[in-house]
Structure 1
Amino acid sequence: MKMQTVAVLGAGAVGSYVIWGLAEKPGIRLGVLAEGERAARLKANGIGINGRTYRPEVWAPEEAHGVDFLVVCLKYGALPGAMDSIRKAVGAHTVVMSLMNGVDSEERIAAEVGDAHVIRSLIKVASHKEADGFHFDPDATLGIIFGEQEAPFQSERVQAIVELFEGSGIHYRVTEHIREEMWAKFRLNVCNNLPQAILGAGVGCYRDSVHMQAISDGLRRELEAIAAAKGIDLRIADAAAGRGSAVPPTARYSTLQDLDAGRHTEIDMFSGALMRMGAELGIPTPYNEYTYHMIKALEEKNDGRFDYTGSEAVTWAK
């Protein structure tokens, strides 16, 4: 097996890291899946990454059919609408890697194309958008972590992905504990992404406020209880992760970045997913329920739902 054609679905903060890393890799064809106006825009303007314009090929899903490697880098809310594109691109030997946040995108994709096509993975990259495109620090980026869920862990497709990433700009690591590591990143997103987004402050708030830390801890307890009920031992991931990466106290993670920009967030993939799993397992999730509804209300605020003029009908306080 050899990865000679690579398609990226979603050329945003995560997809830009993959495009940047593989753009100079010899011996491969690299393309972005897009149709209509978006395809025309990508062909005309390219993709701004770290101050440079990149111009990968732009393929319609039908043109990409049978691609060796499909990397899905979408926002959670965009996945249902992209399933037709994924189905069209996947051929008999296509390997699909989802670098989306959360812990259920692989299962949703596998339900459409078959689990045998999907390899589990996660990405750790602090990318943000500026006027000229996406920016990240390549040296500080931990990169892509991936692996098989069961032996043989050094499978043919794992070795093919290693060969693809080797010598590129992409940082990567193969793990034998991919489920645990995916849930550890999920925990980081839930416990650090969400309370900060409600407060609207940098991540230093967890260090400087016992109240913010208490909220984060409450979310963590619920997530870890659900993980344990699913047989996922997060201590394994904690041992593999080491110290992690240094983050300035001003850092604003993706959920807060979305709210800052007036976009809808991925809260359905975070607390929404935990609420569903908790209900299935009989595990209460009050911290996640409150967080879910607060962030949904902040999305509504961004949508202008509460832009009252004073001429509306009165409400009654009871």
Structure 2
Amino acid sequence: MDFPVYSSVVKELKDSFLSVFETSKDVDYEEEQFQDCRITPTTCGTITIENEITNPMTEKLELARKWSLNKYKYTRQLISEKLGHGSRTVDLELDYQIDILKDNKKKYDNILRLAQMFSSHLFHMVHIQKQLGNAFSDLSLKSLELNREFSENADTQKMVAKNGEILCVAINSFIENVNTLVNKTIKDTLLTVKQYETSRIEYDAYRTDLEELNRGPLGPHSLPKIEESKLLFQTYKEKYEQLRDDVVIKLKFLEENKIKVLRTQLVLFHSAISAYSTGNQTQLEEILAQFHIKVKPGEKATPWFDDY
């Protein structure tokens, strides 16, 4: 039974593999072409000076060849794992922590989205309450028989609007701090996690190559390849282990910082909503002072995304 997708992937890998060796031939040709450009050593007494003209194009081709080879090995290992054929290095505890972090990131993003919607709706509600209060005040002056009723409603709407402005400031502070945690601190940690996951695939790719060479027949031609493979394997192993240690450290500090930030912001959110629900303007102002949230004189409520 044919698998068109799998066949196309194999063809791409084959073409990539052949291009690597074609690039290698080009490098050999360039080296032969510039062998005649060497300057013979000049001797003066006991001092010998030797100059050699290097070809920048040769160096670039060599770098391109190495990059292509590494990319080929990485892609081959990744596809092999996806198809369930290749073996992979697994760190159960670390992988579990990374999965939890990625899942929490999605949930925190959702909280931010909802909080921003709440801030926007609150801002528009405060704006309407102000207009409604002004309308009641205007009617209280023109309707003497309903002056008291219109005045009471005007005062109520203005008071609720004032409390809404204070709540809007508190909610925006909550959003700003959680946004910094999610889209800067956590995002930076996930960037290191991405580098770690890439290094893990590279490490497994060169580990697989070394294992295949060790299983093959030994001979004068295979020994140099094995030694070269060992050096590459050791290089990528050290890179993988270093990034793994970096991820462990960042996850530890992230957890400590996350608990500290979220605990403070959740208390702020709860306290502000509770005070607003009871119409306690004094308590709302005390909450802003408690969390060091400063409101500039004459500052009006704005939706979070208008400021940021």
TM-score, normalized by the shorter chain, greater than 0.5: no
More helix as a share of residues: 2
* TM interval, short-chain normalised: under 0.3
Normalising by structure 2, we get a TM-score of 0.19
Q: Flag the structure with more relative contact order, 1 or 2, with Cα contacts below 8 A and sequence separation at least 6.
A: 2
More strand as a share of residues: 1
Normalising by structure 1, we get a TM-score of 0.18
